[in-house]
Amino acid sequence: MEATIAMGVKGLVLGIPVTKSGSFDDYEKAIEWYVNVLGFELLWKSGIASLKLASGSEILLYGEEDEESSMWYSGNIKQNPHYSIQFETNNIEGLRADLIKSGVSAGEITIGVVGDKVMMFFDPYGNRFWAIEEQ
């Protein structure tokens, strides 16, 4: 069966909120962290930052929004994370070391259900992610 693209949808970009702590510098630090630690390229920024990996995967970083009608409303992201983002890597041990060196929390590397190495980690703003090294 051949896959069809309904309504022109052809890709996905994930938005990740950067928690408020009262300073615009936190937004800049978030961009730096994603670029320097995870290897994203900053494409542009204007209140929202667009970042891209060499593979073509993109994310947007944005500040928390309290207005429920806003496209960027994030709700209570600490108690109810509303996304699952998984970063693929060829060296999960090296990624874990780099994450810890950058000052963030990285869990232990475990073996997943199908034998892949997996690890949970958090960015400096408390957003939860997964890393996987396929075997």
Distance CA 82, CA 41 (A): 24
Q: What is the CATH number of domain 11-65?
A: 3.30.720.120
- pTM exceeds cut of 0.85: no
- DSSP assignment of 60-114: EEEE-B--TTSTTB---TTTS-----EEE-S-HHHHHHHHHHTT--B---EE-TT
- Which of 102, 99, 103, 101 has the alpha carbon at shortest distance from 121? 99
**Of 107, 112, 130, 115, nearest to 38 (Cα)?**
130
Q: Where in the chain is the domain with CATH 3.30.720.120?
A: 11-65
Closest CA to 43 of 19, 61, 17: 61
Q: Which residues make up the CATH 3.10.180.10 domain(s) of the chain? A: 84-135
CB 117 within 8 A of CB 110: yes
pLDDT per residue as tens, the chain (135 positions): 455 544 544 556 788 888 665 555 688 888 999 999 999 999 998 878 999 999 998 898 887 666 665 555 666 656 555 566 778 888 999 999 999 999 988 999 999 877 889 898 988 888 878 888 988
CATH topology of domain 84-135: 2,3-Dihydroxybiphenyl 1,2-Dioxygenase; domain 1 (3.10.180)
